[in-house]
């Protein structure tokens, strides 16, 4: 039996740091409020020359280098993003060109913050069916360009970044064991970016109404996220006949420290079994899990032969998990 195995990871965040104190000077907020309600202390944002594909390429080159692979060794590129460089060509095609990955097909997927875990679901099937041999999956976002910097309810939350993984088949008893994806479009209005698509195409009116910025009903989203992720994590373990105590690490989407702690409590996981970097980067949407995975590996917290659980929640609404035996 072939399983999909993550053979390498890479990540990239831009150099510019925006601290909570910087935000205190822009909107009516405080470091105390942001830390207490979200766990975020600072976030990274791009400079004026950078777009999502630039971040994605940095993360991808990093992953390729660690795997001693060349871009032409990749046969498929998938970029999970809700902030593509442009509507089309896809960010994945732009990445393919920039990397020089001339043997790869390329396309984007959008499941908002769950995009990377949705990507793992897809990649796992494509590798198991032997449709592709070696896939580059990137989660990359430039949320700072779709953030309303005058809206304190959203601008304190988001950041920019990218994370990448390279996935191959293995016949060993490890790799991506199971993936679980879910959606509820009836709750789509809880987090949305309405402007710039075919419903509200760019016009003076959409700009004046600020429709090109993220709109979020934070507190309602929070409640659904806690409930849904607790259920999802528990069910993922049950369906694999595993007890949560058999997990060596939970790598959750970094949206809010209180959501992360609620899932950890439900699984009875101690702090050392939960990877958190939200204080440094805020919510980087589809990039958050691959950045966290890359950092967790570099910190020696992902151990060969052990189980890790990835789980995400985001706009759509969407939520997803992936159980991996490293």
Total of residues contacting ligand UT7 (CB under 6 A): 20
Whether 180 sits among the annotated catalytic residues: the reply is no
CB of 31 to ligand UT7, least distance (A): 10
CB of 90 to ligand UT7, least distance (A): 22
Asked whether position 302 contacts ligand UT7 by CB under 6 A, the answer is no
Whether 113 sits among the annotated catalytic residues: the reply is yes
How many angstroms separate the Cα of 187 from the Cα of each of 157, 230, 283, 304? 20, 18, 20, 39
Asked whether position 222 contacts ligand UT7 by CB under 6 A, the answer is yes
CB of 219 to ligand UT7, least distance (A): 4
Could you tell me the two tokens for 322? 């992936």
CA 41, chain centre distance (Å)? 19
Question: How far apart are the C-alpha atoms of 164 and 287, rounded to whole Å?
Answer: 8
- H-type alpha helices, the chain: 20-24, 31-38, 52-66, 91-99, 115-128, 152-155, 204-208, 218-239, 257-266, 278-281, 288-298
Give the position of tokens 């996981």.
Answer: 269
Asked whether position 116 contacts ligand UT7 by CB under 6 A, the answer is no
Question: How far apart are the C-alpha atoms of 22 and 30, rounded to whole Å?
Answer: 10
Between 187 and 242, CB nearer to ligand UT7: 187
Could you tell me the two tokens for 298? 């570099």
Give the position of tokens 């449709």.
Answer: 131
Q: Which of 219, 271, 272, 300 binds ligand UT7 (CB under 6 A)?
A: 219
Asked whether position 313 contacts ligand UT7 by CB under 6 A, the answer is yes
312 three-class SS: strand
Q: Which of 75, 196, 218, 242 binds ligand UT7 (CB under 6 A)?
A: 218
Q: Residue 194 CB: number of other CB atoms within 10 A? A: 16
Stretch that binds ligand UT7, among 57-65, 90-98, 180-188, 216-224 (CB under 6 A): 216-224
Could you tell me the two tokens for 212? 């090109």
Q: Which helix (H) or strand (E) holds 191?
A: strand 191-192
CB of 225 to ligand UT7, least distance (A): 4
Catalytic residue among 20, 110, 256, 283: 283
Between 42 and 306, CB nearer to ligand UT7: 42
Q: Which of 82, 120, 123, 255 binds ligand UT7 (CB under 6 A)?
A: 255
Asked whether position 124 contacts ligand UT7 by CB under 6 A, the answer is no
Beta-strand pair 105-109/76-80:
parallel
Q: Which of 128, 145, 152, 174 binds ligand UT7 (CB under 6 A)?
A: 152
**Could you say which residues in the range 26-85 bind ligand UT7, by CB under 6 A?**
29, 33, 37-38
Q: Which of 62, 124, 228, 283 binds ligand UT7 (CB under 6 A)?
A: 283
Could you tell me the two tokens for 318? 């969407």
Q: Which of 50, 52, 256, 318 binds ligand UT7 (CB under 6 A)?
A: 256
Whether 68 sits among the annotated catalytic residues: the reply is no
Q: Which helix (H) or strand (E) holds 178?
A: strand 175-183
Residues recognised as catalytic: 113, 253, 283
Q: Which residues bind ligand UT7 (CB under 6 A)?
A: 29, 33, 37-38, 113, 152-153, 156, 191, 218-219, 221-222, 225, 255-256, 259, 283, 313-314
């Amino acid at each position: 039996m072939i399983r999909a195995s993550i053979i390498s990871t890479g990540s990239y965040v831009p150099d510019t740091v925006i601290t909570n104190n910087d935000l205190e000077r822009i909107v009516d907020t405080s470091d105390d409020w942001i830390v207490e309600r979200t766990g975020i202390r600072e976030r990274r944002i791009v400079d004026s020359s950078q777009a999502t594909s630039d971040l994605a390429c940095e993360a991808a080159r990093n992953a390729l280098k660690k795997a001693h692979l060349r871009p032409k060794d990749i046969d498929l590129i998938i970029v999970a993003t809700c902030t593509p460089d442009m509507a089309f060509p896809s960010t994945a095609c732009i990445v393919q060109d920039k990397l020089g990955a001339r043997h790869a097909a390329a396309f984007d997927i959008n499941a908002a913050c769950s995009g990377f875990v949705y990507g793992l679901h897809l990649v796992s099937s494509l590798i198991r069916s032997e449709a592709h041999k070696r896939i580059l999956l990137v989660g990359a976002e430039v949320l700072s360009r779709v953030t309303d910097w005058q809206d304190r309810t959203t601008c304190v939350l988001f950041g920019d970044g990218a994370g990448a993984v390279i996935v191959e088949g293995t016949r060993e008893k490890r790799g991506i064991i199971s993936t679980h994806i879910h959606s509820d479009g009836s709750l789509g209005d809880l987090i949305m970016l309405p402007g710039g698509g075919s419903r509200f195409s760019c016009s003076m009116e959409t700009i004046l109404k600020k429709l090109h910025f993220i709109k979020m009903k934070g507190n309602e989203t929070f409640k659904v996220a806690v409930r849904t992720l607790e259920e999802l994590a528990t069910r993922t373990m049950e369906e694999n006949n595993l007890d949560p105590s058999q997990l060596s690490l939970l790598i959750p989407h970094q949206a809010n420290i209180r959501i992360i702690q609620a899932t950890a409590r439900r699984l009875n996981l101690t702090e050392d079994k939960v990877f958190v970097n939200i204080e440094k980067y805020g919510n980087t949407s589809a990039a958050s899990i691959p950045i966290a995975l890359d950092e967790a590996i570099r910190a020696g917290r992902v151990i060969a032969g052990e189980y890790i659980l990835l789980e995400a929640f985001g706009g759509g609404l969407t939520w997803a998990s992936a159980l991996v035996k490293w």
